[in-house]
Amino acid sequence: MLAGEHLGLGLALQEQVNYENKCYKTFDGHKDEVNCCTFSLDWEILVTGADDGLVRVFNNLTEKLVCRFKGHQGSIKSVCITADSKYVASASYDKTVIIWNTRNGEIKHVLKGHSKSVEMVCFSHDGSMLCSGGWDHDIILWLVQEGAAKNVLTGHKDLVQCSAFSFDDKLLATGSWDYSVRVWRLSNDVHMPDCIVLNGHKSNVFALCFSKLGMLASGSWDKTVHIWNPVHGTIIHVLNEHTGWVRAVCFTSDGTMLGSVSDDETIKIWDAVSGKCCKTIEGEVEQLQMCSFSIEGSLIVSGALIPIKRKTTMMMDESKPE
């Protein structure tokens, strides 16, 4: 959850691993604390969710509010958008997940199945499935078009905080406050177990991301990032230079670099192959929360800023090669 009443979004345009020249965008709207955000694949759409129970969709290019989605009876905990931007999903404290039509804000499905607050949602890359999880420790795989549960995955012993689909949608990774990462087989590959449990973190697992090279990164409140071989269940690297909780991780589109953000108010850029830290960037927000690389290598970072009229602020950081 973001501290204060603002979501600060930082955009860093990367040519190598050097980040300079900051500017800002501001998004107005929410009347309470902003908890989550996500961008469309083409970066034209920004979706936010807040404690006011509303999902807001902004045009990232014009900085204008496109529409508000109203339907939940509690705080919005997580939002996601399909790769084709057709649907938005939101998870709520009211124990439901809603799939929305992005174009007109109409509700496609209200998904009921969780017995406690839903804390995360994630679309598969092809948009056919949606994963949700929360305080009931269960993971539900939903069929997007039908609005029906395909499978309920059990095994975690605490809050399910995060999830990620592999790029071919054959694997699903989930991270929990039970300190574990679970990798679930979604394909018919009989040579792989139904579930592999990855143990190694010493605190809550808060963030997950797959690379196109097949690696899996996990960020934890134990202040480390682990890079795994998810098929064999082995650790490739343990990245331990952060001094605060790791809130988010992301790979570049080619899978060779990894970004991480932490409560120590730094952003770190890692060589995913060697495990070496290439760059440390001091954050300019109170609490960094999210990071993602664009196809071109731009780095987007979000966090909480000092509250000023409940605005969402984007920082653009244009990189110059050294």
Per-residue pLDDT of 223-275, as tens digits, reads: 999 999 999 999 999 999 999 999 999 999 899 999 999 988 888 999 999 99
| Helix, coil or strand: residue 300 | strand
Percentage of the chain modeled with pLDDT above 90: 66
- The DSSP bridge pattern shows strands 277-282 and 266-271 to be antiparallel
Q: In the predicted model, is pLDDT for residue 309 greater than 70?
A: no
| Weakest-pLDDT range from 2-16, 66-80, 165-179 | 2-16
> pLDDT digit string (tens) for 159-210?
999 999 999 999 999 999 999 999 999 998 888 899 999 999 999 999 999 9
pLDDT-derived band at 308 (thresholds 50, 70, 90) equals very low
pTM comes to 0.88
Which candidate, 95, 160, 94, places its Cα nearest to that of 122? Answer: 160
> In this structure, are residues 230 and 214 in contact, taking their beta carbons and an 8 Å threshold?
yes
> What CA–CA distance (Å, rounded) separates 11 from 30?
21
Length of the chain: 322
Query: Which residues are bridge partners to 205 per DSSP?
Result: 220
| Weakest-pLDDT range from 2-6, 26-30, 49-53, 56-60 | 2-6
220, 226, 231, 236 alpha-carbon torsion, rounded to 10°: -170
Q: Please report the pLDDT score of residue 321 as a whole number.
A: 31
Which candidate, 211, 210, 203, 267, places its Cα nearest to that of 241? Answer: 267
> What CA–CA distance (Å, rounded) separates 137 from 174?
11
> In this structure, are residues 3 and 306 in contact, taking their beta carbons and an 8 Å threshold?
no
| Weakest-pLDDT range from 164-168, 214-218, 317-321 | 317-321
Structure-block tokens of residue 286: 């109170």
Q: Please report the pLDDT score of residue 25 as a whole number.
A: 64
Q: For the chain, how far is it from start to end, CA to CA, in angstroms?
A: 36
> In this structure, are residues 173 and 183 in contact, taking their beta carbons and an 8 Å threshold?
yes
How does the average pLDDT of the chain come out, rounded?
85
Cβ count near 322 (within 10 Å): 8
Q: Please report the pLDDT score of residue 162 as a whole number.
A: 98
Alpha helices (H) in 156-232, listed in sequence order: none
> What CA–CA distance (Å, rounded) separates 198 from 209?
14
Position with higher pLDDT, 63 vs 167: 167
The residue ranges of DSSP E strands in 169-321, in sequence order, are 171-176, 181-185, 195-198, 205-210, 216-220, 225-229, 234-239, 246-251, 257-262, 266-271, 277-282, 287-293, 299-304, 311-318
